[in-house]
Structure 1
Amino acid sequence: MARKKITIVGAGNVGATAAHWAAAKELGDIVLVDIVEGMPQGKSLDLMQARPIYGFNVTIVGTNGYEETAGSDVVIVTSGLARKPGMSREDLLNKNTEIVAGVTKAVAAKSPNAILINVANPLDAMCYVMKKVSGFPRERVMGMAGILDTARFRCFLAMELNVAVEEIQSMVLGGHGDDMVPILSATTVSGMPITQFIKDKARLDAMVERTRKGGGEIVGLLKTGSAFYAPSAAAVQMAEAILKDQKRVAPVSVYMEGEYGLKDIFFGVPVILGAGGVEKIIELPLNAEEQALLEKSAAAVTKTRDELPRL
C-alpha cells in the first residue's frame, strides 16, 4: 500500500517541527516547502539523518517549488509573516492574504483532493482566504487553533491540580485570540466537573485569562519569535486524525453555515475529524455567559473577515 503524503508549507520553526512530529509518528512521506533556498532541503536532510537513530522510515524532501507536493493527502500551511514593529494590522492582513492565497492556489492545483490545515495568522481569516481560493468544500479546509488553546488550558489546569494532563478534558471555542472561549461547563477531571477541584472562581478565571494570553506569554519570554512546539504538535494531531481516520473529537476552526447561529466565517467549534476531514460539527449546549462570550468572539472574527482585501 502506498504511503500517505503530507505537504508542509513553511520550513520555519512551526513547519520544521511539524515535519519532525509527523516523521516520528510515521504518518507518511513528507514534503517541506519554503521560498528560502536551501533551508527546506537542509532541514529535510537533517531529519532524514535522524531516521536511523529514532527508527522511523518515511521520506522527507525539501523543496522551493510545488512539483514534489503533487498528490498530497494533507497539506499543513504555516507560512505567513509575523507582525513586525511599526507594521499595521491592515498591512499584516494584506501581506498574509497574498502569501496564503498564493500557497493555496499552488497546492490546490497539485493536490485537488487534499485536506488543507491552516496554521497561518490571523487564523480564522486566513482559513477564509484558503476556502475562497481553493474552492474546496468546507469538510476539507480547516484551521488549527482550538486544539492548541485547549492544550494550553489543560496544561495550566494539570499544573494547578498536580494531576496527569490526560485526566483533564476541555473545549476552547471561538476565534483564535483574546476572545477565545474556554467552555467551563465542558471541563472535567477524569469525568468529574472542574468546579469540584477548583471552587474559587477567581483561580479558574486566572487560568482562563492565562490561556487567552498563552501565545503572548511565550513571545514575551522568547523576546524574538513565538511558540512552535505546541502549535506544530496540534496541527500534526489534526493530520493524524485525518490520515488514520481516528474520528477524533476536537475543536477546529471550520466554515460556519448556520451552526451556533453563525454564517460565512471560520470559527472554532467541536468537530469529528476523520478521513473525510471535518465529518461532523457538534453543537454544544452553552450557558448564557458562554453564549455571550461566543457572540463577542464571532463579532471580532467577522470584523477581520470584513477587512480582508478582495480575492
Structure 2
Amino acid sequence: MDKKVTVIGGGNVGATAAQRLCEKELADVVLIDIMEGMPQGKALDLTEAAPIEKHDASVTGANSYEMSADSDVVIITAGIPRKPGMSRDDLLSTNMGIMRQVTEQVAKYSPNAKIIVVSNPLDAMCHVAYEASGFPKERVMGMAGVLDSARFRAFIAMELNVSVENTHAFVLGGHGDTMVPLPRYSTVAGIPITELMPQDRIEALCKRTATGGAEIVSLLKTGSAYYAPASAAVEMAEAILKDKKKILPCAAMLSGQYGINDLFIGVPVKLGAAGIEEIVEIKLTEDEDKALKHSAAAVQELVDTMKKL
C-alpha cells in the first residue's frame, strides 16, 4: 500500500479499526499497544486472515512507536474504557495522561499525520491531543458525530422499516448526553423524518441516540461499543486517505463558527487530504442553537477541569 495508518490501542475498538482498514485495502496498518505480545498477536491473526479476505495490506503489531514513523493518519483509541455506571467524564483524569503521552510520540514519529481521536471523553481528549501534538487544528479531529449520526440513522431505519442506505442524519455537539440530534436535517431518501413520524417518536429516537453508548455498555456489562466506533473512525480515515472531500460530522476546533471559540465540538466538516478542509455552517433554529451552546458549555466545563488537574 502507498498509505500508512497507525492505530494506537489494541483493544476492541483499535483491533476492529485495524481489521476494517486492511480489509478495505486503505493502507498498511501498524497496531500499537503497551501490552507485550498483544498487538503482535492480533496483527499476525489479521495477516493470516488476509488470504481469505483477499487483501494485500500489511498489518504490524508493536509496543513502541518506531514502526509508526511517517504515518498518514493516526487513530488514537488508547485509554481505559467505560464501565457500567461510569460516565465519559469519569474517565477524564486517567485518559488525559494517556492521551498526552501517546500524542507526543505521534508528533515525534509522524509530524505530518492527521490525528483522529476516539478515546473518551472525546471532545476533551481532542484538546489534549491538539496541545500535545502542536499540530495545526486542521490535522486534529475527533470521531463522534459520525458514530452518533450512524446510531441515529440505524434507529430511523428500524423505526420506519427502511434501508439504512436511505437514511441520513446529523448529530452535532459534544459526544455525550448533551449531543444535539437534528431531525430537520435528518432524512429518508431526501424526505425529512419530521414528515414521516410523529414528534413523540422523533423525540424518543433522539433520546436513544444521545444515550446510545450507555445502552450498549449496560447490555455488555464488561465493556463498551466497538464495532460502530471503529467503522466511524475508518470512514473518517478513508475520506482523508482518498481525499474524498466528504462532509461528515466530526469534533473540530472552532474559531467563531456557530458563535463558539477555541473549543472542539461536533459540527459538519469537509474531510480531505489536508484533514479538516472546511467547517460547514448550517442554519440552526433558536432552540437548536441553544442546545448546541448548552452542549458546548458541557465540553468547556471538562476543558476547564483539565486545566486544574
TM-score range, shorter chain: over 0.9
Identify the residue that residue 208 of structure 1 maps to in structure 2. 206
**Contact map agreement 1:94 1:309 (CA 8 A) in 2:** no
Cα distance in 2, alignment partners of residues 229 and 257 from structure 1: 32
Identify the residue that residue 300 of structure 1 maps to in structure 2. 298
Identify the residue that residue 278 of structure 1 maps to in structure 2. 276
**Contact map agreement 2:88 2:121 (CA 8 A) in 1:** no
Equivalent residue letter for 1:217: E
- Deviation digits for residues 7-30 of structure 1 (CA, Å, limit 9, x no counterpart): 000000000000000011001110
Equivalent residue letter for 1:38: G
TM-score, normalised by the number of residues in structure 1: 0.96
Cα distance in 1, alignment partners of residues 270 and 15 from structure 2: 27
Identify the residue that residue 192 of structure 2 maps to in structure 1. 193
Shift of 1:82: 2.4
Shift of 1:172: 0.2
Residue pairs, 1:11-22, within 5 angstroms? 11-22=10-21
Shift of 1:93: 1.5
Shift of 1:160: 0.6
Identify the residue that residue 225 of structure 1 maps to in structure 2. 223
Cα distance in 2, alignment partners of residues 255 and 195 from structure 1: 30
Q: How many residues align?
A: 309
Distance 1:90 1:211, change over 3 A: closer
Identify the residue that residue 237 of structure 1 maps to in structure 2. 235
Identify the residue that residue 35 of structure 2 maps to in structure 1. 36
Greater mean alpha carbon deviation, residues 252-261 or residues 76-85 = 76-85
Question: 5+ unaligned residues in a row in structure 1: which ranges?
Answer: none
Which of 238, 245, 248 is the equivalent residue of 1:250?
248
Greater mean alpha carbon deviation, residues 138-147 or residues 84-93 = 84-93
**Contact map agreement 1:146 1:253 (CA 8 A) in 2:** yes
Identify the residue that residue 147 of structure 2 maps to in structure 1. 148
Distance 1:55 1:101, change over 3 A: same
**Contact map agreement 2:183 2:202 (CA 8 A) in 1:** no
Cα distance in 1, alignment partners of residues 278 and 63 from structure 2: 35
Residue pairs, 1:45-84, within 5 angstroms? 45-83=44-82
Cα distance in 2, alignment partners of residues 131 and 225 from structure 1: 27
Cα distance in 1, alignment partners of residues 233 and 62 from structure 2: 21
Cα distance in 2, alignment partners of residues 41 and 223 from structure 1: 27
Identify the residue that residue 7 of structure 2 maps to in structure 1. 8
Shift of 1:264: 1.3
Paired residue secondary structure (2:152): helix
Shift of 1:309: 3.9
Equivalent residue letter for 2:248: A
Cα distance in 2, alignment partners of residues 90 and 235 from structure 1: 21
**Contact map agreement 1:241 1:274 (CA 8 A) in 2:** yes
> Structure 1 vs Structure 2: percent identity of aligned residues?
57
Cα distance in 1, alignment partners of residues 19 and 90 from structure 2: 32
Equivalent residue letter for 2:263: I
Cα distance in 2, alignment partners of residues 86 and 172 from structure 1: 24
Paired residue secondary structure (2:7): strand
Equivalent residue letter for 2:80: L
Cα distance in 1, alignment partners of residues 216 and 88 from structure 2: 20
Paired residue secondary structure (1:260): helix
Shift of 1:83: 4.4
Paired residue secondary structure (1:8): strand
Q: In the alignment, does 2:148 pair up with 1:126?
A: no
Equivalent residue letter for 1:189: V
Equivalent residue letter for 1:165: V
**Contact map agreement 1:251 1:271 (CA 8 A) in 2:** yes
- Deviation digits for residues 157-189 of structure 1 (CA, Å, limit 9, x no counterpart): 001111111111111000000000011111111
Paired residue secondary structure (1:308): helix
Residue pairs, 1:149-168, within 5 angstroms? 149-168=148-167
Identify the residue that residue 134 of structure 2 maps to in structure 1. 135
Identify the residue that residue 260 of structure 1 maps to in structure 2. 258
Cα distance in 2, alignment partners of residues 91 and 216 from structure 1: 13
Give the aligned CA root-mean-square deviation in angstroms. 1.6
